[in-house]
C-alpha cells in the first residue's frame, strides 16, 4: 500500500464519521444475511423443543420442531444451516458405530428436510463425538484416540451424509489425513460436487462447553482432546494444517473458535485464495448473551462481534445469532 504524508488539518478523519449514512458509505464491512449460517441442534428422543440452559435463547429441537424452525429461517433469508444431532445413550458405543448406519437419525432427518426444502443448503458435521460413549471425536483404543481407525469410520459416515443430501460436509474431528481420505471416497462414490468445509484450525478451547451439553458429548474418559485438537498457543501450525487440507481437497477452511482467533482468520485469508469461514462457537454466544441478559452490554455487541470476524477476513460465519440478525435487518 502506498504511503502518504497526510497531515492535520487538511486531513480530518472525522469528516467520514459525521453521520450513519456517511459511515455506511465508506465502511469496509457490512453484514449480509447470505453470509450467516445458523447452527441447529436436533434430538432423536424429544417430542417437543427443549430450551438449552447453557445457551439462553437456543433450543434442542425435535425433528418436527426443526422443520418448523428451518421454514422460519428461510422466510427470513437464512439459506444455510449446520445441523448437529443429539442421540439417545442406547445408540452410542465405543466405536460410534451408529455414525455409519446409512439409515441413522441424522441421515433420515436430512432426507426429510431436503425433500421439503430442496433450496436449503445443509452443512453436516463429520465427527464421532455425538456417537461415541466416550464423547471423543474418534475411536479410543488403548487409552488413545486412534487416528487411522477413526478415518475409516469418517469415510463411511461422509458417504452416508452425502447420499442423504448434505451439500457441505464439515470434518471437525481433527484427525490427520481425513480430508484426503474423505475426498477420495466421495469421488469414487460419485459425490464429486460435495463440498468439503475443513475445520483445519479447530483449537482445543474452553469455549466449547455449552455445545457439548447440547449434543450430549461431554467427555467421559480421561484422555484430553488436546491430543488431537490444535494448541491455541500455535499460529504457524494453523497455516501448516490449512495448507495440508487444501492440498488434500478442502474447498473451504474453518476457524473455530472465532473471536479469540481473528488473527488466524486474517492470516489464512491473506495467505490462501480459498474461502475462510469462522464459527462463533457456543461459549462465545453464551458469553455475549448472558452479558446482554444482565444488561452489561446492549444488543449492538452482537453486530460488533460479527463485523470484526468479517473484517478479519471471514467470508461467512456460523453464528447462533444468524436468526436474530436476519430479523434485525429484514
pLDDT digits (tens, 9 = 90+) for 154-204: 999 999 999 999 999 999 999 999 999 999 999 999 999 999 999 999 999
CB 45 within 8 A of CB 327: no
Percentage of the chain exceeding pLDDT 90? 85
> Is there a domain that residue 156 lies in?
yes
> Is there a domain that residue 225 lies in?
yes
pLDDT in tens, 60-88: 999 999 999 999 999 999 999 999 999 99
Residue 220: what pLDDT? Answer: 61
- Of 91, 225, 241, 256, which is the active-site residue? 256
Structural domain count, the chain: 1
Q: Which H or E run includes 200?
A: strand 195-202
User: pTM of the entire structure?
Assistant: 0.93
Mean pLDDT of the chain: 94
Q: Verify cis geometry, omega within 30 degrees of 0, for the bond prior to 257.
A: yes
Q: Which H or E run includes 277?
A: strand 276-280
Q: Does 92 qualify as catalytic in the annotation?
A: no
Residue 125: what pLDDT? Answer: 97
pLDDT in tens, 287-321: 999 999 999 999 999 999 999 999 999 999 999 99
> Is there a domain that residue 8 lies in?
no
Query: Nearest to residue 202, comparing CAs of 238, 236, 227?
Result: 238
pLDDT, average across residues 270-280 = 95
Residue 3 has pLDDT above 90, yes or no: no
> Is there a domain that residue 10 lies in?
no
Residue 147: what pLDDT? Answer: 97
The CATH number for 191's domain is 3.20.20.70
Cell numbers at 191, concatenated? 459425490
Query: Nearest to residue 281, comparing CAs of 42, 55, 125, 69?
Result: 55
pLDDT in tens, 221-263: 678 999 999 999 999 999 999 999 999 999 999 999 999 999 9
Burial class of residue 24, CB neighbours in 10 A (0-12, 13-18, 19+):
exposed
- Of 59, 202, 225, 241, which is the active-site residue? 202
pLDDT band at 1 (very low <50, low <70, confident <90, very high): low
pLDDT band at 219 (very low <50, low <70, confident <90, very high): low
Residue 4: what pLDDT? Answer: 74
Neighbour-count burial for 61-93, b at 16+ CB within 10 Å, e otherwise: bbbebbbebbeebeebbbbbbbbbbbbeeebbe
pLDDT in tens, 87-98: 999 999 999 999
Residue 104 has pLDDT above 90, yes or no: yes
Residue 26: what pLDDT? Answer: 87
Residue 250: what pLDDT? Answer: 96
Looking at the DSSP bridge assignments, the partners of residue 93 are 132
Residue 142: what pLDDT? Answer: 94
Cα(224)–Cα(206) distance, integer angstroms: 12
Q: Verify cis geometry, omega within 30 degrees of 0, for the bond prior to 9.
A: yes
The residues near 231 (Cβ < 8 Å, ≥ 6 apart) are 203, 204, 237
> Is there a domain that residue 223 lies in?
yes
E-assigned strands of 97-136? 121-126
Residue 184: what pLDDT? Answer: 97
Q: Does 156 qualify as catalytic in the annotation?
A: no
| Full residue range of the structural domain in which residue 145 is found | 31-329
> Is there a domain that residue 20 lies in?
no
> Is there a domain that residue 118 lies in?
yes
Cα(129)–Cα(220) distance, integer angstroms: 11
Residue 213: what pLDDT? Answer: 84
CB 228 within 8 A of CB 178: no
Residue 330 has pLDDT above 90, yes or no: no
Cell numbers at 214, concatenated? 447440547
Cα(282)–Cα(277) distance, integer angstroms: 16
> Is there a domain that residue 271 lies in?
yes
Amino acid at each position: 500500500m502506498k504511503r502518504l504524508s497526510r497531515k492535520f488539518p487538511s486531513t480530518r478523519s472525522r469528516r467520514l464519521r459525521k453521520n450513519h449514512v456517511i459511515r455506511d458509505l465508506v465502511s469496509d464491512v457490512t453484514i449480509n444475511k447470505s453470509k450467516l449460517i445458523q447452527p441447529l441442534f436436533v434430538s432423536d428422543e424429544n417430542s417437543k423443543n427443549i430450551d438449552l440452559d447453557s445457551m439462553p435463547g437456543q433450543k434442542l429441537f425435535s425433528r418436527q420442531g426443526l422443520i418448523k424452525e428451518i421454514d422460519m429461517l428461510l422466510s427470513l433469508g437464512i439459506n444455510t444451516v449446520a445441523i448437529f444431532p443429539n442421540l439417545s445413550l442406547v445408540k452410542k458405543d465405543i466405536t460410534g458405530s451408529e455414525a455409519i448406519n446409512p439409515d441413522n437419525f441424522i441421515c433420515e432427518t436430512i432426507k426429510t428436510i431436503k425433500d421439503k426444502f430442496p433450496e436449503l443448503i445443509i452443512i453436516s458435521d463429520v465427527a464421532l463425538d455425538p456417537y461415541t460413549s466416550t464423547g471423543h471425536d474418534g475411536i479410543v483404543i488403548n487409552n488413545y484416540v486412534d487416528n487411522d481407525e477413526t478415518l475409516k469410520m469418517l469415510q463411511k459416515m461422509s458417504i452416508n451424509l452425502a447420499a442423504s443430501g448434505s451439500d457441505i460436509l464439515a470434518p471437525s474431528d481433527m484427525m490427520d489425513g481425513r480430508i484426503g481420505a474423505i475426498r477420495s471416497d466421495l469421488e469414487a462414490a460419485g459425490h464429486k460436487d460435495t463440498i468439503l468445509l475443513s475445520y483445519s484450525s479447530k483449537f482445543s478451547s474452553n469455549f466449547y462447553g455449552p455445545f457439548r451439553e447440547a449434543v450430549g458429548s461431554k467427555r467421559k474418559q480421561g484422555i484430553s482432546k488436546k491430543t488431537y485438537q490444535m494448541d491455541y498457543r500455535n499460529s504457524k501450525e494453523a497455516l501448516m494444517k490449512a495448507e495440508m487440507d487444501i492440498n488434500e481437497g478442502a474447498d473451504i477452511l474453518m476457524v473455530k473458535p472465532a473471536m479469540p482467533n481473528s488473527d488466524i482468520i486474517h492470516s489464512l485469508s491473506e495467505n490462501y485464495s480459498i474461502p475462510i469461514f469462522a464459527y462463533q462457537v457456543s461459549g462465545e454466544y453464551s458469553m455475549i448473551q448472558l452479558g446482554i441478559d444482565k444488561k452489561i452490554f446492549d444488543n449492538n455487541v452482537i453486530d460488533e462481534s460479527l463485523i470484526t470476524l468479517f473484517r478479519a477476513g471471514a467470508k461467512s460465519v456460523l453464528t447462533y445469532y444468524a436468526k436474530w440478525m436476519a430479523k434485525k435487518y429484514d
